[in-house]
Amino acid sequence: MIRTETNFAGLRLRNPIIVSSSGLTDSAAKNRRLEEAGAGAIVLKSLLEEQILQEAYWLGNPAMYPEGSDYLVEYMREHQLGEYLRLIRESKATCTIPIIASINCWQDGEWADVAGQIEEAGADALEINILSLQTDLHYVYGSYEQRHIDILARVKRQVALPVIMKVGSNLTNPIALFNQLYANGAAGIVLFNRFYRPDIDIEKMTQTVGELFTNESDLSPVLRWIGIASAALGHMDYAASGGIHSPESVVKALLAGASAVEMCSAIYRQSPAFIGRCLQFLREWMERKGMDGIARFKGRLNMANSEGVNTFERTQFMKYFSTHR
């Protein structure tokens, strides 16, 4: 019998497909439909650090936020903390799968004190997404990584629920940071979060916002770092986020060492029925390969098990340089 259950961040999931934090998960009714479509867990739309603080120091500096301050003021008005707690409670009442709350933040501060309220509202876990580009001329090397540790440690002092860290791809050595996050109590790592993509309109001569959704090629760096991390730090749980656009990519992420995948662009593009297609493919693939459970093949093709062909750590394009003329 094929079993698709998986353990991720202290949660037992009926299957490895998690709907990632986005507008897809901002209401209990939507979350119920995602559960019916087959999702193994749901990460709620994020609560922003600014919403919690209510002070919004960025108001004096609208350039801090790409959508501009008017939009954010409106957003804050509509999405207060109380409403977020209600979203957790309603989603828990409507769904049977784990509901993971999410906070977008960029600094260690008072906002972290609300983690206890999120736990009380019934969230099964909390995902923390640290969204920040480092551009300060006087930046102290390592301080961005340290901030992840400080934020995690502060949140962990407030709650007993599993805390999942969703990290960006702008880290010098993700493995060293994951090791520290593990030591400070992180239950799982999601890699990677997605920054806004800038673009330029050459006719209007303006800066514009680039592609909102990912595509299949975004998966490659995720496979690389899960492949390296799951071999180096096998006791941590990983979820792949970014570039899951086909049922095959779910299998790839698990083979690289992920315990689960988080997806959203593909569901926006293809509807929640995409989840069912991924699950059907996963079961058929497992049957074809004689795998009765996820543990049988999770990490089978990570860096430790690549039979000497370590593509994950390869950075040079020698093969392409020599054969592509």
Ligand X SMILES: Cc1cc2nc3c(=O)[nH]c(=O)nc-3n(C[C@H](O)[C@H](O)[C@H](O)COP(=O)(O)O)c2cc1C
User: Side-chain half-sphere of 141: how many Cα atoms within 13 Å?
Assistant: 2
Note whether 95 binds ligand X by CB under 6 A. Answer: no
Beta bridge partners of 104: 48, 129
Residues in contact with ligand X, shown as a per-residue x/- string from 53 to 92 under the rule CB under 6 A: ----------------------------------------
Note whether 241 binds ligand X by CB under 6 A. Answer: yes
DSSP helix/strand/coil, 9:
coil
Q: How far is the CB of 28 from ligand X (least distance, A)?
A: 17
Please say which residue, 243 or 247, places its beta carbon nearer to ligand X.
243
d(CA 18, CA 187): 16
Taking CB under 6 A as the criterion, the residue among 88, 253, 264, 275 binding ligand X is: 264
d(CA 87, CA 30): 11
Note whether 148 binds ligand X by CB under 6 A. Answer: no
Closest by CA to 66, choosing from 236, 194, 239, is: 194
**Dihedral sign, Cα of residue 169, residue 40, residue 277, residue 236:** positive
| Structure tokens given for 70 | 């008017």
d(CA 313, CA 290): 29
Please say which residue, 32 or 194, places its beta carbon nearer to ligand X.
194
| Structure tokens given for 306 | 């690549």
Taking CB under 6 A as the criterion, the residue among 46, 91, 117, 230 binding ligand X is: 46
d(CA 52, CA 47): 8
- Give CA 125 to chain center in angstroms: 13
Q: How far is the CB of 205 from ligand X (least distance, A)?
A: 27
* Size (the chain), residues: 325
Note whether 104 binds ligand X by CB under 6 A. Answer: yes
Q: Using omega within 30 degrees of 0 as the cis cutoff, is the peptide bond preceding 192 cis?
A: yes
Note whether 25 binds ligand X by CB under 6 A. Answer: no
Q: How far is the CB of 321 from ligand X (least distance, A)?
A: 30
Positions 150 through 189 that interact with ligand X (CB under 6 A): 166
Note whether 257 binds ligand X by CB under 6 A. Answer: no
Please say which residue, 281 or 300, places its beta carbon nearer to ligand X.
281
Q: Mark the segment that binds ligand X (CB under 6 A) among 132-140, 224-232, 238-246, 249-257.
A: 238-246
Note whether 212 binds ligand X by CB under 6 A. Answer: yes
Confirm if 257 and 298 have CB atoms less than 8 A apart: yes
Q: How far is the CB of 44 from ligand X (least distance, A)?
A: 8
Taking CB under 6 A as the criterion, the residue among 40, 188, 242, 299 binding ligand X is: 242
In the complex, the residues that contact ligand X under the rule CB under 6 A are 20-23, 45-46, 102, 104, 129, 166, 193-194, 212-214, 218, 241-244, 263-266
